[in-house]
Structure 1
Amino acid sequence: MIHESAIVDPSARLADDVTVGPWSLVGPDVEIGPGTIIEPHVVIRGPTRIGARNHIYQFSSIGEATPDLKYRNEPTRLVIGDDNVIRENVTIHRGTVQDRSETTIGDHNLIMAYAHIGHDSVLGNHTILVNNTALAGHVHIGDWAILSGYTLVHQFCKIGAHSFSGMGTAIGKDVPAYITVSGSPAEAKTINTEGLRRRGFSSEAISQLRRAFKILYRQGLTLDIALQRLETMLSETPEVQVLIDSIRASERGIVR
């Protein structure tokens, strides 16, 4: 399953059925789980842990050291979960000791061509990063979020669960859960209605989240007062708690 032209360090730990294509390099302190496919011309450096059934396409660079000028070759790592698809020319950097010392990718993510995931970033599960999306260091992406092509995300931003960014969006503040943003700088446009429908949210829940959006963005309220109004909706719509939590977790301030 390992092509004769591939270079695999003797200390790397690969499950028996891992495929490594021609001219790929797997360095020391790399662990790759069962069913994972590494296409040709991929570079994987450690310390990196890659789970099961991932598919990494050609010319990707996985687990390289960050270019962050504070990095001094400390032993940081990259951890990738299961069932991820990492397309052509993706770059994913390890963490830094200034943060978690770890970049983390969850499960069932689609990371499309030329996307970049900077040091210490965290991707949840079922996210999609469309072509040329770029995450600076320390970015957190919630479950089911979708970032359209050429989306740029500033350092330390948090992107909430089920949120969506339009093509070419430049995100410099946190995006609450469920919110669709677009523009440069990013502006909140609406609730991600179509995404929620596809994931089985009820019509009532979506209607209430649309109401919550209007309270948050259309009534000219301060953020504190808007949050108080949202909290009155919790008995009717538990999904609103996710929205409230994502706002309260913000340190950079939210897109508004």
Structure 2
Amino acid sequence: MSANIHPTALVAPGAVLADDVSVGPYCVIGEHTVIGPGTRLFSHVVIEGRCEIGAGNSIYPFAMLGGPPQHTAYKGEDTRLVIGDNNIIREHATMNIGTAAGGGVTYVGSDGFYMIESHVGHDCKVGDNVILTKQATLGGHCQIGDFVIVGGLAAVHQYTRVGRHAMIGGLAAVVKDVIPYGSVWGNHAHLEGLNLVGLKRRGFSRETINTMRAAYRLLFADEGTFQERLDDTVETYSDCAEVMEIIDFIRAEAGRPLCLPEREV
């Protein structure tokens, strides 16, 4: 089988399209594009820059992939956007290539769902099974773990980390790192607790969830200093991999402060 390209589409000579790629009406594909098998571009999709797209993706009208970084320091350096497999990228979604200063690659994992007008900024590292709902925005250099959900119209500040299985509520302005399994809400976002709905949907056992809840209450209690509570949590729950994932995330000491509860837990 060969790629199925609509006669109105413009595909640059250097582009590499695998077998059974489908390119719909009025799509524009640049010369540095590589598209894996089974990926479908419905219509009016624009792919430019150095863009590598995996297999089985569905890309809807007016999506713009591989555009230049929205960064004043970008001067046309040879950087990339890499997208994995089996993603759904809906209308008007945008994903930008990286910057030289940020490592040169924007990476989007597999099995994600990127809804209408969602945006992945330059140099982001986005995991698998991520959902960006309508008009959700990731600033540059964000690190988004697997199974994260970002609610509608929420914005994640540049350089912010969001741990695996976290939930960001709609309209949230996230300017601080979000722990794995956490649930945040508000402007500016604060930690509401654990993402219990997500944990249950993904098959975490009742015992594990109860252990995580107990560890959360200890970690974010009012008594003692945060470092003392961190040490106590490690001592008490070191045999729970999920709790230790939260601890390791906190200890990583990235550039952004930690998103904390607004009220007592």
Contact 1:174 1:250 in 2 (8 A): no
| 1:253 Cα deviation after fit | 1.6
Bigger shift: residues 242-251 or 123-132: 242-251
Q: What's the counterpart of residue 201 of structure 1?
A: 204
* Structure 2, unpaired ranges of 5+: 261-265
Letter in 1 for 2:240: T
Letter in 2 for 1:172: V
Aligned counterparts, 1:63-82, within 5 A: 63-82=66-85
Counterparts of 1:168 and 1:244 in 2: how far apart (Å)? 27
Q: What's the counterpart of residue 234 of structure 1?
A: 237
Counterparts of 2:62 and 2:144 in 1: how far apart (Å)? 24
The 3 A distance-change label for structure 1 pair 255 and 7 is same
Q: What's the counterpart of residue 45 of structure 2?
A: 42
Counterparts of 2:238 and 2:225 in 1: how far apart (Å)? 22
Counterparts of 1:215 and 1:238 in 2: how far apart (Å)? 16
Contact 2:70 2:121 in 1 (8 A): no
Q: For 1:163-190, what per-residue CA distance to the aligned partner results, in whole angstroms no more than 9, with x for missing partners? A: 0011100000100101100000111011
Contact 1:158 1:250 in 2 (8 A): no
Q: What's the counterpart of residue 100 of structure 1?
A: 103
Letter in 2 for 1:254: L
Q: What's the counterpart of residue 8 of structure 2?
A: 5
| 1:93 Cα deviation after fit | 0.4
Matched, 1:127 2:133: no
Contact 1:175 1:254 in 2 (8 A): yes
Counterparts of 1:168 and 1:250 in 2: how far apart (Å)? 26
Q: What's the counterpart of residue 164 of structure 2?
A: 161
Letter in 2 for 1:139: C
Selected match of 1:55 from 47, 54, 58: 58
Counterparts of 1:88 and 1:185 in 2: how far apart (Å)? 28
Matched, 1:253 2:257: yes
Letter in 2 for 1:214: R
Counterparts of 1:186 and 1:220 in 2: how far apart (Å)? 23
| 1:220 Cα deviation after fit | 4.3
| 1:249 Cα deviation after fit | 2.0
Contact 2:17 2:36 in 1 (8 A): yes
Counterparts of 2:224 and 2:161 in 1: how far apart (Å)? 22
Bigger shift: residues 214-223 or 135-144: 214-223
The 3 A distance-change label for structure 1 pair 220 and 6 is farther
Q: What's the counterpart of residue 141 of structure 1?
A: 144
Give the structure-1-normalised TM-score. Answer: 0.97
| 1:91 Cα deviation after fit | 0.6
Aligned residue for 1:125, secondary structure, equals coil
| 1:141 Cα deviation after fit | 0.3
| 1:199 Cα deviation after fit | 0.6
Contact 1:174 1:255 in 2 (8 A): yes
Letter in 2 for 1:48: C
Counterparts of 1:216 and 1:253 in 2: how far apart (Å)? 16
- Percent of aligned pairs with the same residue? 41
Counterparts of 1:186 and 1:243 in 2: how far apart (Å)? 18
Aligned residue for 1:214, secondary structure, equals helix
| 1:73 Cα deviation after fit | 0.2
| 1:235 Cα deviation after fit | 4.2
Contact 2:215 2:237 in 1 (8 A): no
Give the structure-2-normalised TM-score. Answer: 0.94
